[in-house]
Amino acid sequence: MEGLAEAFEVVGASAEHHLEASHAAGLALAVTDREEILGAVCRGMADVASGTPVRPETRFEIGSISKSFAAVVVLQEAEAGRLDLHASVNAIVPWLGLPEPFGPITLHHLMTHTAGLQIGTEDAPTGPGALHRMRTLPPTTPPGERFLYSNDGWKVVGACLEEVTGRPTHELLQERVLEPLGMAASTAAITDAVRQDLAVGYAPMHPDRPVHLRHPLVPANWVVSNTADGSIVSNVIDMSAYARFLLAGGDVPDGRGGRVLSEAMFAELVEPRVDDGEGGMYGYGLWTEEVDGVRWVAHSGGMVGYSAFLVTSPDEGVAVVELQNGDGIKHGLVRAALATIRASLAGAELPAVWAPPPATSIPKAADYVGTYHGDDGRELVVRAEDDGLAARFGPLAVRLERDPLDPDDAPDRFLVPHEALERFELAFGRDDAGAVVEAFHGSTWFRGERYAGSEPDPAPEAWTRLTGLYRNDDPWSPVLRILLRKGRLVLQWPSSAGDEDAEMELVPLDEGWFAAGEIRDPRRIRFEGEGAGGLAVVAEFNGGSWFRSFED
């Protein structure tokens, strides 16, 4: 569109900064209004080995953005009278056998992530396999009580669709949504056949430690899937058509005529329903939140080697879609793109090129300064340096880092970019008054000079046989680690460091089971087998099995 060229130069420069701070090889971003794509920017490589650049036509996996596509079909079936959103899913799918210890679990609960189900380990590589395992993994809180994100719950949504229609989920999405919207380059199943025409997915090389920007990227493991929680392959051109469908209130855009959803059912789709506990409201596969004074209806997506973000601003009539082959939080870039296009359309001065803060920039660095004494005899000295922190572990000194794309997440946890120290974050603990009084690195507990807490109780001797590194072929979470620290057992998902659930204390339950994190969360782990030295061999977590490795 005339007059937007300069704005998209700014967006493109911002995308370059974003990609430098991402664990991704390439990205494509498009902005659309209700009528047409206003512009697109592409940066980086679709395939590093061949030197193939990302183009607007490049296809990526969009992950959980697929959930709203499935919700569209559910609402079509509900309007036709073939699905009851408030009936037990066991009544809809008689063979399912989903445990309901607290009362009926409904499609409404599943689509709002309030069924109380686990998120899913993805250790079962197929939808039917995951559903089979769910029969032995009951929810731990009543349906409707609270928001708890669950991919497995959306796999059940797909099973309900298949039961009432007699058609596979991916065929329904293709015929009911993709084709009517003219999304000809998109497909609703990830199969071996689409791999040849897809950006190569990339992941960091070391799944046994927190991700550092200096770690090389390698091609990610390949996953085949057709489940309703996230199996669509698309590009920014097609996804812009889906964004226009959302901006149009369920109508078919681009002059094609007709509606995919009635006005009443579209209102059901976008209705904010459940507080997610982080300032947003979740509906049926879409989030609603206010950002920069503007209402977003949006969803993020992640698959093995891919991540995505779709944001619509209904009140402004514009939307942004960003797809990339790798990981990396995209809120900063998308906010910057919207602000830039908003200014251009209003004839206002364009904002400056956006760039994330340096990884070494740490707000409130003075909070962490001090000397800490480890229970393994090591001394940790933390001092302010420029606008960040330097830490010395005995003779080793290093500048601490944080995720530049999500600097506000896990503010007391930092990367330690040194080959001898990088396997663990350096995490700080605060007292009830908010003062930093302790630190943790791996199994080591460091007491600060201001620590006045109680002494930890001795850990049971049997717990020492559980600690170690466990591996699995699960492409999502191939490594888990069990530590014994400050008298407590801790479960770590090393490559997810910085995420809310990347580290969880294990709470003993009956019959050898532990709760991972809060007891009310549906996360359970136990240990089996006995190897050399009496060490446990298998860690069974929520139906998946991880096996002891020779590594620490």
Task: Write out the H or E segment, with its range, that includes residue 40.
Answer: strand 37-47
Same domain, 268 and 174: yes
Residue 316 within a domain: yes
Give residue 497's pLDDT band: very low, low, confident or very high (50, 70, 90). Answer: low
Residue 350 within a domain: no
How confident is the model over 58-105, as pLDDT tens digits? 999 999 999 999 999 999 999 999 999 999 999 999 999 999 999 999
Same domain, 290 and 341: yes
Q: Specify the pLDDT at position 2.
A: 58
Same domain, 87 and 139: yes
Note the Cα 116 to chain centre separation in Å: 18
Q: Specify the pLDDT at position 202.
A: 97
Same domain, 52 and 199: yes
Same domain, 284 and 252: yes
Same domain, 263 and 190: yes
Residue 285 within a domain: yes
Same domain, 209 and 295: yes
Which residues constitute the domain of residue 137?
70-165
Mean pLDDT of the chain: 94
Q: Is it the case that residue 179 has pLDDT exceeding 70?
A: yes
Q: Is it the case that residue 357 has pLDDT exceeding 70?
A: yes
Same domain, 327 and 220: yes
Same domain, 58 and 195: yes
Q: What total of structural domains would you count in the chain?
A: 4
Q: Phi/psi of residue 110, each to 5°? A: -65, -45
451-475: average pLDDT: 93
d(CA 316, CA 5): 20
User: Structure tokens of 431?
Assistant: 């007292």
Same domain, 118 and 57: no
d(CA 382, CA 400): 10
Q: Which are the contacts of 335, defined by CB distance < 8 A and separation ≥ 6?
A: 291, 292, 354
Angle in degrees, CA 10, 15, 18, rounded to 5 = 130
Same domain, 220 and 275: yes
Among 345, 374, 392, the domain-final residue is 345
Can you spell out the DSSP letters for 262-301? -HHHHHHHH---EE-SSS-EE-SS-EEEEETTEEEEEEEE
Residues of the chain with pLDDT > 90: what percent? 87
Same domain, 418 and 527: no
Look up the CATH number of the domain holding residue 515: 2.40.128.600
Give residue 1's pLDDT band: very low, low, confident or very high (50, 70, 90). Answer: low
Q: Which are the contacts of 9, defined by CB distance < 8 A and separation ≥ 6?
A: none
Q: Which of 73-82, 400-409, 509-518 has the lowest mean pLDDT?
A: 400-409
